[in-house]
Chains A and B, each alone.
Chain A
Amino acid sequence: MVSMESPDLGHGDPVRSAPPADIVLTREMQAESVPGAPEPDTRQVVFDIRGLDVHYGPVLAVAEVDLAVAAREITALIGPSGCGKSTFLRCLNRMNDLIPGARVSGSVLYHGLELYGPQIDPVEVRRRIGMVFQKPNPFPKSIYDNVAFGPRVNGQRRGLDDLVEHALARAALWDEVKDKLKKSALALSGGQQQRLCIARALAVEPDVVLMDEPCSALDPIASSRIEDLMVELKRDYTIVIVTHNMQQAARVSDRTAFFTAEIRESGARVGVLVEYDQTETIFTSPSDPRTEGYITGRFG
């Protein structure tokens, strides 16, 4: 089941093998390829998630999610609060491992490799699959040390200056901070801090960047800068973003997944994936009435 060209995420030497470039899209995506398009859709799948359940202790939080994330696209996750978007997102880089009692079952294939397989080292997973959080969380260190943190942790000692500059430039922050790299990151504005966190994530040269409501703590101007940045970054990275801002999802994403919380017979609220499609389709002609209700502002 582990294919030959799979990235090595095992314990031991962190081989930086490039992801394979020739995986053909799986069922969902082929099914919804545009009618009339002559060629089969051959975009590369980064995550192929099937039958994913997440429990917190005895409580089922997210159930039976099937979803495939394509490379170099922005995939948006939307849905009402508490429907499990963050929970789902955190499954993709094994951040849920850090929550005592959290349990993930089902399959998360990352470039064909089972992320929850026994030989997988979650630390190496997180190095390749970076994450940006809702609240900017720079370390109480200098701007430079924030960006250099990941490379240092991964054993890099030389060429850090270039790496830091490059990462900051990619995050559209270099010009604003190049004269104060040794100053505390906490002196930056919220929007700058969030771009610093993006730079920090990019500095480890990840394959995927997960973002959990990266703009929700920012003003509209800072948000729109981050949106521009995301569009810019998708040329090189696969991005999955959780957002409560539907305009944002519509503006930046290629595909949108709508989650909601279902009430089961037992009375339990369980997060489920309702609909997953091209963003345009989701926002113009959703096939599920719940999706339509949500995007038009009618809930339930």
Chain B
Amino acid sequence: MIGILFLCAALSVVVTIGIVLSLIPPTVEFFQEVDLGEFLTGTEWAPLFTPPKFGVLPIVAGTLVVTVCAIAIALPFGLGTAVFLSEYARPRIRKWLKPMIEVLAGIPTVVYGYFALKFVSPYVQDLWPIGDPPGVFNALSAGLVMGIMILPMVASLSEDALAAVPAGLREGAYALGSSKFEVASRVSVPAALSGIVAAFVLAVSRAVGETMIVLIAAGGTPNLTWNPGEAMQTMTAFIAAAGTGDLSQGSTGYQTIFAVGSLLFVVTFFMNVFSNRVVRRFREVYE
């Protein structure tokens, strides 16, 4: 029995190692063709064209812009939801509200993608305040909807962190003449901060890794800009788009997918290390 359980645990480790190992050879081959400095600092990304351009910054910027849009939605609303659930909502309201919010997390991302394109994008075009309105495909629509998608995760994890704050701390604050808002903002949230930060970091990882929404709604053009109204490509969207094309194995174009995959892996790996550190600190806050 222990053997079977060990195998289960080992499986995910083996798969992870396998993925990392499979990334390495094509990535190494890629960097034999392409200079690492050019890859990391180049401002043009057209790896499948002739002549190819291997500057990864446009799709890194695309990833960043979409992620920032997503976090701008997910963090305030997710945290607000968590504070409402844990500090304000009566038990009965919490009992039906929390599962309802968690349903959001179960919607397939392709649905979110079309929601962004068909529902949110027209509003973004209509309500655009300055300059020319954006096209149908734009990073903002994709980012906003991605924010809605990761909101339940931020809300749920932050709520867990808030729920772990000992009730005695809240009582202590109430007994000093604090209002509900003061208890939430000066005691509960600070005490749960590390857990909330961990939720935030996880949300960023989710946003960086999310593919389908950007593939559908952000347009497929690498574009080095900070303007969220423009069409963009992200790292994941590039991988998905290029991976479904007919690239021959061993070509530099094919290896590019793995190079970007490795970069993505490095980014999310460090984010996870960072969030693990934060979570570890979280355990030490009270007591």
Contact = CB atoms under 8 A, between A and B. Distances in A.
B23 interface: no
A150 B177 contact: yes
Interface string A134-154: 010111110000000110011
Given A140-B191, A140-B286, A133 B177 contact: no
A84 interface: no
Interface string B139-182: 00000000000000000000000000010110111111111001
A55 interface: no
Contact of A139 (B91, B172, B177): B172
A200 B187 CA distance: 14
A200 B287 contact: no
Contact of B177 (A98, A100, A141, A204): A204
Contacts of B173: 139, 149, 153
A126 B176 contact: yes
Given A133-B171, A137-B166, A123 B187 contact: no
How extensive is the interface on chain A, given as a class?
Answer: 20 to 34
Nearest to A136: B168
Contact of B174 (A98, A124, A135): A98
Contact of B175 (A130, A138, A141): A130
A107 interface: no
B285 interface: yes
A166 B79 CA distance: 37
Contact of B168 (A123, A137, A201): A137
A127 B177 contact: yes
A150 B182 CA distance: 10
A148 B172 CA distance: 13
Contacts of B285: 140
Contacts of B174: 95, 98, 126
B175 A95 contact: yes
Contacts, number: 68
A197 B172 CA distance: 8
Contacts of A150: 176-177
A131 B182 contact: no
A128 B175 CA distance: 9
Given A137-B166, A139-B172, A123 B286 contact: no
A274 to B, nearest CB: 28
B177 A149 contact: no
A144 B184 CA distance: 20
A149 B286 contact: no
Contacts of B187: 139
A186 interface: yes
B186 A149 contact: yes
Contacts of B287: 186
Interface string B260-287: 0000000000000000000000000111
A153 B178 contact: yes
Contact of A127 (B90, B169, B172, B176): B176
Interface in A151-189: 153-154, 186
A291 interface: no
Contact of B191 (A93, A95, A126, A139): A139
Given A139-B191, A153-B186, A126 B175 contact: yes
Interface of A: 93, 95, 98, 100, 123-124, 126-128, 130-131, 133, 135, 137-141, 149-150, 153-154, 186, 197, 200-201, 204
Given A126-B178, A127-B177, A137-B172, 8 more contacts: A93-B175, A127-B176, A130-B176, A133-B175, A137-B169, A139-B172, A140-B285, A153-B173
29 contacts: A95-B175, A98-B171, A100-B91, A123-B179, A126-B174, A126-B176, A128-B177, A130-B176, A131-B171, A133-B168, A133-B171, A137-B169, A137-B171, A137-B172, A139-B172, A139-B173, A139-B187, A140-B169, A140-B191, A140-B286, A153-B176, A153-B179, A153-B182, A153-B186, A197-B172, A200-B172, A200-B176, A201-B175, A204-B177
